[in-house]
Amino acid sequence: MASSYAEITNLALVRIGANRITSMTDGSRNANEANAIFQNVADEVLRAHDWSFATHRAGLRQKDVISVNITTITQANPGTVLHGGGAIEEGDLIEFANVGGMTELNGNQYIATQVQSTQFTITETDTSGFTAYTSGGTAEQVLPHTDKWTYVYECPSDCLRVISINDAPDTEYELTNIGTGSQTLLLSNEEPPIVIEYIKQVVTPGQFDATFTDALAFRLAGELSLILTGDMEKFQAMMTAYNSQLAAAVTNDSKEDKHDITMNFNRYKNARR
């Protein structure tokens, strides 16, 4: 079974008649193109089924709202906010309150960019004509609440898809991100505490099931055939093979999962005797 990105990539390259690589960073075009898309393709195949090897559970905590104390705001285009420090992230939606002097900002929301540890820029906002800043004020991160959702939870950074919340697969939720940051948030009406079962982003190919690896290689082959050769017929052939192998991998995974459940149940029965 392939145990590295390069081995899976070579499976894909062989299927489209392309040259093998020695590593994902060997400098060849094949390696560069494969390296650029590999994780995205793997994530797509991981999302396609509740793979037993990628299924995990985690308790989620509610997302804390980040608020920083402002120390000054420049009159410039765009304006820059200096503050006492806090976890503001690039692309965050920020709302101002209790700003002294430059009251034009109060109650309004802006996008934070050029974020540093104690300052950020107010995107596309010319504050040069605003009243001069005098004192005080806060800049608070605006969470993506809507009329539909009550609670905002922090998801694990490796979460690709949620299977269930508190073991109820039909519970409604929404996944979103704050700004342009990588943190994934789960919006739900479920009261805390909550536990999710989810599909984890697997970055160690040695953990892949053999039939999953075969399906992934076909999916990767399809993408690489378009990038490297532009051959639509070859792409369609690889995608047909991918769909067939994916179905076989799902069936195999489901059987293994059912076998594990039976084994665990038998152990439980024996322990009760």
Assess whether 110 and 131 both reside in one domain: yes
pLDDT > 60? residue 272:
no
Indicate left, alpha or beta for 184 from its phi (over 0: left) and psi (-120 to 50: alpha). Answer: beta
Which among 243, 234, 242, 245 is positioned nearest to 16, based on CA atoms?
234
Assess whether 224 and 185 both reside in one domain: no
Q: What is the DSSP letter of 160?
A: E
Q: What pLDDT sits at residue 1? A: 60
Assess whether 153 and 187 both reside in one domain: yes
**Two tokens, residue 226:** 């378009």
Query: Higher-confidence residue: 148 or 25?
Result: 25
As a whole number, mean pLDDT of residues 33-40 equals 97
Which of 141, 160, 179 is at the close of a domain? 141
State pLDDT tens for residues 177-196. Answer: 766 556 788 999 999 999 99
pLDDT > 80? residue 112:
yes
Q: Which domain holds residue 248?
A: 5-51+209-272
Rounded to the nearest angstrom, the gap between the alpha carbon of residue 165 and the centroid of all alpha carbons in its chain is 18
Which among 158, 161, 164 is positioned nearest to 201, based on CA atoms?
158
- Spatial distance between the Cα atoms of 47 and 38, rounded to a whole number of angstroms: 14
Assess whether 137 and 150 both reside in one domain: no
Assess whether 183 and 163 both reside in one domain: yes
Q: What pLDDT sits at residue 180? A: 56
Q: What pLDDT sits at residue 147? A: 77
pLDDT > 60? residue 121:
yes
For 221, residues 6+ apart whose C-beta sits below 8 A from its C-beta are 11, 12, 13, 15, 16, 238, 241, 242
Q: What pLDDT sits at residue 16? A: 96
Report the percent of the chain where pLDDT is more than 70: 91
Assess whether 89 and 123 both reside in one domain: yes
Assess whether 131 and 164 both reside in one domain: no
Which of 200, 220, 238 is at the close of a domain? 200
Dihedral angle, C-alpha 123, 129, 131, 137, nearest 10 °: 0
Q: What pLDDT sits at residue 261? A: 40
Dihedral angle, C-alpha 264, 268, 269, 273, nearest 10 °: 150
Mean pLDDT lowest for which of 89-93, 113-117, 125-129?
89-93
pLDDT > 50? residue 271:
no
Q: What pLDDT sits at residue 257? A: 60
Assess whether 102 and 124 both reside in one domain: yes
DSSP element (H, E) containing 218: helix 210-228
Q: What pLDDT sits at residue 181? A: 57
State pLDDT tens for residues 51-93. Answer: 999 999 999 999 888 899 999 999 999 999 999 998 888 888 8
Q: Are 84 and 151 in contact (CB under 8 A)?
A: no
State pLDDT tens for residues 215-266. Answer: 999 999 999 999 999 999 999 999 999 999 999 999 999 876 644 444 443 4
Q: What pLDDT sits at residue 240? A: 98
Assess whether 166 and 134 both reside in one domain: no
- Spatial distance between the Cα atoms of 235 and 38, rounded to a whole number of angstroms: 16
State pLDDT tens for residues 143-169. Answer: 877 678 999 999 998 999 999 999 999
Assess whether 75 and 134 both reside in one domain: yes
Give residue for tokens 């609440």: 145
* Number of domains making up the chain: 3
Q: What are phi and psi of 70, to 5 degrees?
A: -75, 140
Assess whether 30 and 71 both reside in one domain: no
Q: What pLDDT sits at residue 118? A: 95
Question: What CATH number corresponds to the domain at position 112?
Answer: 2.40.30.180
As a whole number, mean pLDDT of residues 93-112 equals 95
- Please give the single-letter amino acid code of residue 2: A
